[in-house]
A and B are shown apart, each in its own frame.
Chain A
Amino acid sequence: MFRDLRIRFTIIILLTMGALFALAPSLTNNLPDWWKNSVHKIKLGLDLQGGMHLILEVEAEKAVESYMERTLNDLQSFLKNKGVLVVSADRKGLDIQIKYVEAGNKDIVPSLITNRYPELEVLKTTRQAGHGEITLTINPKQKAAMERSAVDQALETIRNRVDQFGVTEPDISRQGKDQILVQLPGIKDPERAIKLIGKTALLEFKLVDDEHSLEEALKGNIPPGDEILYQRIVDPDTGAVTRKPYLIKKKTLLTGDVLKDARVRINSQYGEPYVAITFDSRGAEEFEKITAKYVKKRLAIILDNNVYSAPVIQERIAGGRAQITGNFTAQEAHDLAIVLRAGALPAPVKILEKRTVGPTLGEDSIRRGITSVIIGGLLVVVFMAFYYKLSGVVADLALFLNVIFILAILAAFRATLTLPGIAGIVLTIGMAVDANVLIFERIREELWIGKTPRAAMEAGFSKAFITILDANVTTLIAAVVLYQFGTGPVKGFAVTLSIGIVSSMFTAIVVSRAIFDLAFEKRRIRKISI
């Protein structure tokens, strides 16, 4: 090892200066900018600064299901164009079942379909008395790819939404196959954020079916190809919520993926907010076609299966603009504009885990944590000095350096400090003196069997070293496992514990040894105060 004292002290002093350099921005703001820019403040976990931790599950299978639903519609018109008479077409989960009348003596339908839709797989075909039946499903590779891309897309969309919402340093990342981890530090209104993040925001334009009776449909006789959807109406005076039913044709004319922009506007007459949307060129063209085709019919604007409005199309609308009205508050309109701009989620999401911490609780925790560190640290320092006298003071110095090193490493590596992390530091303070206790007890033993102070000190350090190493490696094993297993705050605990173990070995073995050596070399002391 570093035999020369001067080299050892140079290294220790350099490391200490480096640590103080890394730590300074976390302690004070009165520093030049270049300093603050080169090392950041210690990053606080959500439990200390307040905020929200969410784990969402993307129901990716739903994305595949809706793909199959679209395919089903598409297939029907495709077969019609090819002159095949379709008797019925149904979807059960991911399976499509089509019954048709066979025209020729050779059943060409299966090959027709698989040529046109290579992603589909034929599960079963039956032929019976001029009727054919085919069951199709999506091929597993395609399904997996679709699910993967649904999760990717959901991640991207959520990221967009959060960015527009304005949260500093959000952490949005994928976890496992179909989970998304969202961490929003310092957020004030977690419920609003959840609504913003979790809304599927599937915008659809569908026709209202005015040819059939709504009353009949409400009794249960829903015409084929139709569905009943509701509009949520809030009475502005009483705040009471009523649901108004609509009979809607299932076929989607246009969806929100052709949107270019969405902005909040205020209605000049009533001062009510609404969302103005602009289509891209393809959307504008489509919208114009639709409005031309269905003049005098009602077009329902539907978001996540809720009807927002169903105005009558007065005339062909060119220019690609439309508006979504409804009883919005300004905040709702603002959030709706964000989700429309960021795009729809390809599949609904479910909340698997949610943890929010209010900012006041975080401040409380920090205060209590720091108090614990100070009181615990002081007690240990006093105890060591009392029990081991001057040697104890050396250990205290090592302990003090140890805490500085831990915090500096946290700051330098942008690791997160959590409340259990602070507990880890407190625990490390108690355990860090262990190495010194081992060494000192060994020195006392060596002194007792009659060695000179110097020899006893040297023997004490070198004999205790192996013990310290073995003992710390095992604790480190537990800490590493903990890191692998833990989430958020618990991970923070594992991190500070591991850093603490390594840095305490350094301070106890290298730093205190150097001080002892210095005392023997320069002061030529005759006995150890231990």
Chain B
Amino acid sequence: MRIFKPGMNIQFVRVRYIAITISLILILSGVISLIVHHGPNYGIDFRGGTMIQVRILKPTNIAEIRKSLQGLKLGEIVIQSIGGKSSNEYLIRLEKSSTSLKGISEIVKERLAQKFGLKNVVIRRVEMVGPKVGKDLRRKGLWAIVFSMIAILIYITWRFEFWFAIGAIVALAHDVTITVGVFSLTNKQINLAIVAAILTIIGYSLNDTIVVYDRIRENMKKLQKISFADLVNQSINETLSRTILTSLTTLITVVILFLVGGGVIHNFAFALIIGIVVGTYSSIYIASPVVLFFEPYGRNKKGARAKASAGRRVAASRPKPSKPLVSSSTPAAEPAIEVSPASQEAPAAPSKPATKSSSKKKKRSSNNKKKRRKK
């Protein structure tokens, strides 16, 4: 089976301004939501406070639980039902945390036990974070994100070019902002696990971006005659099937986590879902166009070096020269029926090229170029 036909040429680069507009709208609505909500909705990890997950074996509801906790002077109390109606499981979040030995959870348990009976109250999980630790964790979390970005910037500059690194970082900042924005819009809390998810998104989205960059680097060596914009576009197209496929398999597993993983992992998986979708989009529509934007500054000065070193690397990894073709075995043995959503946009695949391998790529690209010009 094959969804993406070889030689297809979707004009990603041409619509980059539309894509950037869409991204800006997404980012802005997230930022506005953040401003309206006075910053991110931090969970107790970052704000300090107490969270108690409790299962009550009698049928009850949030209002009754709230009533039983009245007059405790524990600050704002948020009660939330989790895991569906039948599970009778609730999350109680309290603004206060206690550093003394008699824990808040014990006080809450006593109150609930008075109301529902000691046997019917099962404390499943308690998390208490003091305000000092919360602040500390918030700082550490922010630094973790910043540090990983710097490390990545250095690595990409080393392996590619500085402008590529800028493109990757812009794409990452884009993904992180949108994910945080969506969390703010849906009023979900940001805790340690969500920061972990964000760091994973950084790594993951980068994975996609690098694959495209890698192809750009390779094509810069091979296709010197076409414009850089066309080169970028062609590179995106060539790696498109891989980008979509990998995102799809990863998305499958993360959606399963979201559905099956249970309350503790629910928001974590949600962040990953957003991140993977946005990350895939950004490596196609954001990361490469940014490189394109900076290209006039970067290519003349550094291009030669980058090209040369990329060439060395590729040459070093080349396999032994391929054996001459003997049989006429059909190389692309595919079923006749194929679904190709992209085929309407893409020009028809060029006819199977000649078997001489040396000048093939160039020919194909110049074919493509001619077709594009005709459009």
* Closest Cβ neighbor of A459 among chain B residues: B319
Asked whether any CB of chain A lies closer than 8 Å to the CB of B343, the reply is: no
User: Is B39 an interface residue when CB atoms closer than 8 A count as contact?
Assistant: no
Q: Contact check, A449 vs B361: say whether CB atoms are below 8 A apart.
A: yes
**How extensive is the interface on chain A, given as a class?**
35 or more
Bound-state CA distance A403–B361 (Å) is: 39
User: A434 vs B280: C-alpha distance in the bound complex, in angstroms?
Assistant: 13
- Chain A residues near B357 (CB, 8 Å)? 449-451
Stretch at the interface among B25-33, B63-71, B123-131: B123-131
Give, as a whole number of angstroms, the nearest-CB distance from B56 to chain A. 14
Measured CB to CB, the nearest residue on chain A to B333 is: A527
| A415-441 contact mask (Cβ, 8 Å, vs B): 1 or 0 | 000011001001101110110011001
* Residue of B242, B249, B257, B314 with most partner-chain A CB within 10 A: B249
Contacts of B213 in A (CB 8 A): 470
Bound complex: CA of A452 vs CA of B203, how far in Å? 36
Task: Identify whether the interface residues of A are mostly helix, strand, loop, or mixed.
Answer: helix
What is the CA–CA distance of A298 and B318 in the complex, to the nearest angstrom?
A: 93
Q: For the complex, is A27 an interface residue (Cβ under 8 Å from B)?
A: no
| A191, B245: Cβ atoms closer than 8 Å | no
CA distance A351 to B102 in the complex (A): 10
Question: Which of B16-24, B182-190, B194-202, B291-299 participates in binding chain A?
Answer: B194-202
Q: Is A458 an interface residue (CB 8 A)?
A: yes
Within 8 A of A (CB), among B306-363: 313-314, 317-320, 322-323, 325-327, 329-333, 352-355, 357, 360-361
CB distance from B217 to the nearest CB of A (A): 9
> In the complex, are the beta carbons of A372 and B256 less than 8 A apart?
yes
Contact check, B327 vs A353: say whether CB atoms are below 8 A apart: no
A470-B214, A485-B140, A493-B196 as given contacts; A355 in contact with B128, CB under 8 Å: yes
Give complex CA distance A487, B193 in Å.
10
Please name all residues of chain B whose beta carbon is closer than 8 Å to the beta carbon of A7 when the two chains form the complex: none
Known: A437-B246, A448-B6. A375 touches B260 (CB 8 A): yes
CA distance A474 to B319 in the complex (A): 25
CB distance from B287 to the nearest CB of A (A): 12
Q: Is B192 a contact of A487 with CB atoms below 8 Å? A: yes
Assuming A352-B132, A466-B313, A526-B329, is B147 touching A361 (CB within 8 A)?
Answer: no
What residues of chain A lie closer than 8 Å to B233, measured between beta carbons?
Answer: none
Instruction: Please give, as numbers and ranges, the residues of chain B lying within 8 Å of A465 by CB-CB distance.
Output: 317
Inter-chain contacts of B141 with A (CB < 8 A): 485
The reply to whether B252 and A456 contact each other, CB–CB distance below 8 Å, is no
Give residues of chain A (334-391) contacting chain B, Cβ–Cβ below 8 Å. 350-358, 360-361, 364-365, 368-369, 371-372, 375-377, 379-380, 383-384, 386-387, 389
Q: Is A252 an interface residue (CB 8 A)?
A: no
In the complex, what distance in Å separates the CA atom of A55 from the CA atom of B137?
13
For residue B261, CB closer than 8 A to chain A, the reply is yes
Q: Give chain B residues whose Cβ lies under 8 Å from the Cβ of A387.
A: 1-2, 245
Say whether A365 contacts B264, CB under 8 Å.
yes
Query: Which residues from 228 to 255 on chain B have a C-beta closer than 8 Å to any C-beta of chain A?
Result: 238-239, 241-242, 245-246, 248-254
**Nearest A residue to B192, CB-CB:** A490
A377 to B257, CA, bound (A): 11
CB of A376 within 8 A of CB of B252, answer yes
On whether the beta carbons of B323 and A455 are closer than 8 Å, the reply is yes
A471 touches B262 (CB 8 A): no
Contact A376 B257, beta carbon cutoff 8 Å: yes
Known contacts A376-B257, A426-B257, A455-B323; A475/B318 CB under 8 A: no
Is the beta-carbon distance between A430 and B253 smaller than 8 angstroms? yes
A447-B332, A455-B323, A482-B144 in contact; A430/B106 too (CB < 8 A)? no
Bound-state Cα–Cα, A235 to B328, Å: 99
Q: A447-B331, A448-B6 are in contact. Are A372 and B318 (CB under 8 A)?
A: no
Q: Per-position contact with B for A10-21: 1 when CB-CB < 8 Å, else 0?
A: 000000000000
Residues of B within 8 A of A441 (CB): 239, 241-242, 245
Query: Assuming A351-B128, A360-B122, is B332 touching A478 (CB within 8 A)?
Result: no
- Distance of A83 Cα from B202 Cα, bound (Å): 74
Residue of B122, B159, B248 near A358 (CB, 8 A) is B122
Q: In the complex the two chains form, what is the Cα distance from A487 to B204 in whole Å?
A: 21
- How far, in angstroms, from A423 to B208 measured CA to CA in the complex? 20
* Docked complex Cα distance between A266 and B250 (Å): 64
Q: Which chain A residues lie closer than 8 Å to B330 at the CB level?
A: 527
**Which residues of chain B have C-beta atoms less than 8 A from A472's C-beta?**
207
A427 to B357, CA, bound (A): 39
User: A423 to B265, Cβ gap below 8 A?
Assistant: yes
Interface hub of B199, B206, B215 (most chain A Cβ within 10 A): B199
- Nearest CB in chain A: distance from B323 CB, A: 6
* Bound Cα distance A365, B254 (Å): 16
Question: Mask for B127-160, Cβ within 8 A of A = 1, else 0?
Answer: 1111011000100110110011001100110010
Asked whether B284 is an interface residue with its Cβ less than 8 Å from the other chain, the reply is no
- Which of A371, A376, A479 interacts with B253 by CB under 8 Å? A376
In the complex with contacts A351-B101, A365-B264, A490-B193, A458-B319 CB distance below 8 A: yes
Interface residues of B in 85-131 (CB under 8 A from A): 98-101, 103, 105-106, 122-130
User: Is B74 among interface residues, defined by CB-CB distance under 8 A?
Assistant: no
Knowing A354-B128, A380-B253 are in contact, say whether A191-B103 is a contact too (CB < 8 A). yes
Give chain A's interface residues, CB within 8 Å of chain B: 47, 55, 190-191, 194-195, 198-199, 350-358, 360-361, 364-365, 368-369, 371-372, 375-377, 379-380, 383-384, 386-387, 389, 419-420, 423, 426-427, 429-431, 433-434, 437-438, 441, 444-445, 447-456, 458-459, 461-463, 465-467, 470-479, 481-482, 484-487, 489-490, 493-494, 497, 526-527, 529
10 examples of A-B residue contacts, CB within 8 angstroms: A372-B261, A433-B246, A437-B242, A441-B242, A451-B322, A462-B319, A474-B206, A474-B210, A489-B193, A527-B331
Known pairs A194-B101, A368-B261, A434-B207 / 8 extra A-B pairs, C-beta < 8 Å? A358-B122, A372-B256, A380-B252, A419-B264, A478-B200, A479-B203, A485-B140, A485-B143
